[in-house]
Amino acid sequence: MKKLFKFLPMLAIVAGLGLSLSAFTSAKPTHQQTNVRTTPLFWYPVDITGEISGPAFNAGGSAMELADAILSNPQLCDNSQPEVCYVGEATNNYEQTSTTPSAPTADNRLTKSN
Protein backbone atom coordinates (compact mmCIF):
# COMPACT_ATOMS: atom_id res chain seq x y z
CA MET A 1 0.00 0.00 0.00
CA LYS A 2 2.84 2.36 0.91
CA LYS A 3 4.51 1.61 -2.42
CA LEU A 4 1.32 2.47 -4.23
CA PHE A 5 1.23 5.89 -2.58
CA LYS A 6 4.89 6.37 -3.45
CA PHE A 7 4.14 5.97 -7.14
CA LEU A 8 0.76 7.69 -7.12
CA PRO A 9 2.04 11.13 -8.30
CA MET A 10 3.91 9.43 -11.16
CA LEU A 11 0.76 7.48 -12.07
CA ALA A 12 -1.19 10.76 -11.98
CA ILE A 13 1.22 12.32 -14.50
CA VAL A 14 0.86 9.35 -16.84
CA ALA A 15 -2.93 9.33 -16.42
CA GLY A 16 -3.11 13.08 -17.07
CA LEU A 17 -1.07 12.74 -20.25
CA GLY A 18 -3.17 9.80 -21.38
CA LEU A 19 -6.41 11.65 -20.68
CA SER A 20 -5.34 14.77 -22.56
CA LEU A 21 -4.22 12.72 -25.57
CA SER A 22 -7.42 10.67 -25.59
CA ALA A 23 -9.52 13.82 -25.20
CA PHE A 24 -7.70 15.32 -28.17
CA THR A 25 -8.18 12.28 -30.38
CA SER A 26 -11.79 11.66 -29.38
CA ALA A 27 -12.91 15.29 -29.23
CA LYS A 28 -12.85 15.91 -32.96
CA PRO A 29 -15.88 13.92 -34.15
CA THR A 30 -18.10 14.64 -31.15
CA HIS A 31 -17.09 18.29 -31.01
CA GLN A 32 -18.55 18.98 -34.44
CA GLN A 33 -21.95 20.56 -34.14
CA THR A 34 -24.41 20.84 -36.97
CA ASN A 35 -27.25 23.33 -37.31
CA VAL A 36 -26.51 25.10 -34.10
CA ARG A 37 -26.64 28.75 -33.30
CA THR A 38 -24.73 30.27 -30.46
CA THR A 39 -24.26 33.56 -28.68
CA PRO A 40 -21.71 35.93 -30.21
CA LEU A 41 -18.09 35.32 -29.44
CA PHE A 42 -16.89 38.56 -30.97
CA TRP A 43 -18.31 41.45 -32.95
CA TYR A 44 -17.16 43.37 -36.00
CA PRO A 45 -18.57 46.06 -38.31
CA VAL A 46 -19.53 45.08 -41.85
CA ASP A 47 -19.93 47.36 -44.88
CA ILE A 48 -22.85 47.48 -47.34
CA THR A 49 -21.56 44.43 -49.21
CA GLY A 50 -21.19 42.38 -46.06
CA GLU A 51 -17.41 42.65 -45.98
CA ILE A 52 -15.71 43.21 -42.65
CA SER A 53 -14.85 46.91 -42.48
CA GLY A 54 -13.23 47.38 -39.10
CA PRO A 55 -11.54 45.70 -36.18
CA ALA A 56 -13.36 42.99 -34.27
CA PHE A 57 -14.32 43.45 -30.65
CA ASN A 58 -14.66 40.75 -28.04
CA ALA A 59 -17.69 40.43 -25.76
CA GLY A 60 -16.07 42.81 -23.30
CA GLY A 61 -15.85 45.53 -25.97
CA SER A 62 -12.09 45.28 -26.34
CA ALA A 63 -10.56 45.22 -29.85
CA MET A 64 -9.68 41.64 -30.62
CA GLU A 65 -6.72 40.38 -32.56
CA LEU A 66 -6.80 37.26 -34.69
CA ALA A 67 -10.50 37.58 -35.45
CA ASP A 68 -9.64 37.34 -39.14
CA ALA A 69 -7.68 34.19 -38.43
CA ILE A 70 -10.70 32.67 -36.71
CA LEU A 71 -12.98 33.55 -39.59
CA SER A 72 -10.64 32.36 -42.29
CA ASN A 73 -9.52 29.12 -40.67
CA PRO A 74 -12.34 26.60 -40.23
CA GLN A 75 -9.89 24.25 -38.49
CA LEU A 76 -10.04 26.52 -35.46
CA CYS A 77 -13.81 26.45 -35.24
CA ASP A 78 -15.83 24.34 -32.83
CA ASN A 79 -18.60 23.92 -35.34
CA SER A 80 -18.81 22.52 -38.81
CA GLN A 81 -20.19 25.44 -40.85
CA PRO A 82 -17.31 26.86 -42.85
CA GLU A 83 -18.80 30.34 -43.16
CA VAL A 84 -19.44 30.73 -39.45
CA CYS A 85 -17.08 30.05 -36.62
CA TYR A 86 -17.65 29.52 -32.91
CA VAL A 87 -14.65 29.06 -30.70
CA GLY A 88 -14.73 28.00 -27.10
CA GLU A 89 -18.43 28.21 -26.48
CA ALA A 90 -19.83 25.92 -23.81
CA THR A 91 -22.61 23.60 -24.92
CA ASN A 92 -25.30 25.30 -22.90
CA ASN A 93 -24.76 28.36 -25.04
CA TYR A 94 -25.82 26.38 -28.09
CA GLU A 95 -29.42 26.31 -29.16
CA GLN A 96 -30.68 23.73 -31.60
CA THR A 97 -32.17 25.46 -34.63
CA SER A 98 -33.48 24.19 -37.89
CA THR A 99 -31.64 26.79 -39.95
CA THR A 100 -27.98 27.19 -40.67
CA PRO A 101 -26.63 30.59 -39.58
CA SER A 102 -25.51 32.77 -42.42
CA ALA A 103 -22.52 35.02 -42.93
CA PRO A 104 -22.76 38.72 -41.92
CA THR A 105 -24.84 40.90 -44.19
CA ALA A 106 -25.51 44.60 -44.64
CA ASP A 107 -28.65 44.21 -42.52
CA ASN A 108 -26.62 43.73 -39.39
CA ARG A 109 -23.88 46.31 -39.60
CA LEU A 110 -22.54 45.65 -36.16
CA THR A 111 -23.10 42.00 -35.94
CA LYS A 112 -21.88 38.90 -34.28
CA SER A 113 -19.58 36.30 -35.74
CA ASN A 114 -22.43 34.57 -37.49
Partner 1 sequence: MQPQPLQYAKRNWGNNQQILVLLASLLIMMWIFTVGNKLIEFPKFRIQMLAQPLPQWINQILVYLLLPIELLCVPLLYFNRTRFLGFMLSFLLMLSFTIYIAWMLAFHEHLPCACGGPIPKWGWGQHLAFNIIFTLIAFIGLWTTYKSTRAREHTN
Q: Which residues bind partner 1 (CB under 8 A)?
A: 5-6, 8-9, 11-13, 15-17, 19-21, 23-24, 27, 30-31, 39-42, 58-66, 69-70, 76, 78, 87-93
Cβ 96 to partner 1 shortest distance, Å: 14
Q: Which is nearer to partner 1, 23 or 48 (CB)?
A: 23
Nearer to partner 1, 12 or 110 (CB): 12
Q: How many residues does the chain have?
A: 114
* CB of 66 or CB of 106, closer to partner 1: 66
Residues 6+ apart with CB under 8 A from 98: 35
Q: Which is nearer to partner 1, 25 or 98 (CB)?
A: 25
| Radius of gyration for the chain, computed over Cα atoms and rounded to the nearest angstrom | 20
Give min distance, CB of 48 to partner 1, in A. Answer: 26
Q: Which of 112, 65, 76 is nearest to 93 (CA)?
A: 112
For residues 30 and 19, give the distance between their C-alpha atoms in angstroms, rounded to a whole number.
Answer: 16
88 near 41, Cβ under 8 Å?
A: yes
Residue 94 has phi, psi (to 5 degrees) of -85, 145
Q: How far is the CB of 34 from partner 1 (least distance, A)?
A: 15
